[in-house]
Amino acid sequence: MLLIGLTGSIATGKSTVSSLLSSPPYNLPIIDADLLARKVVEPGTTGYNAIVSYFGPTTPDLLVAPGPDMPENGPSGKGRPLNRPALGRRVFGDSPEVRKDRARLNSIVHPAVRKEMALAVLKAYVKGYRAVVLDVPLLFESQLDKYCGTVLVVGVKDPKVQMDRLRARDPHLSAEDAENRVRSQGDVREKAERATDRGEGKGVVVWNDGDKKELEQQVREVFWKGVVEKQSPRWWGWWLWACPPAAVVSALWNYWGNLQVDKRWREKKEAERAKL
């Protein structure tokens, strides 16, 4: 089974591509990191309790305010949901304090999300899917790209397009808030470079500076034949499904190869910085 890492940055069109891949003619299962991240911090979970314990004393509006439709202990009786805009203001930005808070939040959420992802991948394998998509905004930053046979980056070449889309989608964001959110997810153009460095078929970039129709056309052109057919022919998928030990060996071999790719990437960037 081919594990496809789908990534990009906020307001670049990653969610649109994810929706396309879950629909005909692709019909691929999508493991959405954002949805799992919400699941693992629902009231009553270990993640929720850890976030409230760390951020609560210094973030008075961390939880959704009680009201006619929101009981003091929340709809489930396990606590009121997190106030995501308030939490976002604590973790989006570049100051040392904000980076520390973001790192703390990630240390709470990421391990729980990884566990849920692993279970979802296992279920997709048991069901015999030929490929599965990991929809992860911070795929490289969380180092989940090492487990993927292919990485697909959805990006925009013009930063202004990204900012305009974000503020049109979330009009409540100030220009500063929008810029902080974009920066927190890294430069999508560097992610695109990192994907293509993986090699043909193992790293694919879709540029989404145009409209949705153009995006759909690009996905059709590069995805099926350029990714799935090349990296996971039908016979290979059936063989891995029928022989679990072969699937394990294939996964380990892929992981080792990705470690070498990551090593080359880091050496390349160190060499570039040394020239400055």
CA distance 102 to 122: 29
Give pLDDT, residue 172: 83
Q: Is 55 exposed, middle or buried (0-12, 13-18, 19+ CB in 10 A)?
A: buried
Give pLDDT, residue 48: 95
Give pLDDT, residue 94: 79
CA distance 156 to 210: 9
Kindly give, in sequence order, each residue whose CB lies less than 8 Å from that of residue 210, ignoring residues fewer than 6 positions away.
none
Give pLDDT, residue 83: 93
CA distance 8 to 166: 14
Give pLDDT, residue 61: 92
Kindly give, in sequence order, each residue whose CB lies less than 8 Å from that of residue 10, ignoring residues fewer than 6 positions away.
137, 162, 166, 181, 182, 185
CA distance 26 to 163: 30
**154-189 per-position pLDDT tens digit:** 999 988 888 888 888 888 888 888 888 887 777 899
Can you tell me whether residue 273 is helix, strand or coil?
helix
Give pLDDT, residue 222: 83
CA distance 194 to 231: 18
Q: Report the half-sphere exposure of 206 (CA within 13 A, side-chain side).
A: 33
In contact, 48 and 41? CB cutoff 8 Å: yes
Closest CA to 30 of 45, 9, 42, 14: 14
Low-confidence ranges of the chain (pLDDT < 70): 225-226
Which tokens is 13 given?
């069109």
Q: Given the structure tokens 């072969």, which residue do they identify?
A: 246
Residue-range domains of the chain with CATH: 2-29+129-275 (3.40.50.300), 40-113 (no CATH)
Give pLDDT, residue 171: 85
Distances 169 to 36, 165, 173 between C-alpha atoms, Å: 22, 6, 9
* Helix/strand/coil percentages in the chain, nearest 5: 60, 10, 30
Give pLDDT, residue 100: 92
Which tokens is 36 given?
């799992």
Give pLDDT, residue 201: 82
- Sheet strands (E) in the chain: 2-7, 30-32, 131-135, 150-155, 203-207
Give pLDDT, residue 163: 87
Which tokens is 142 given?
């969380």
Give pLDDT, residue 114: 92
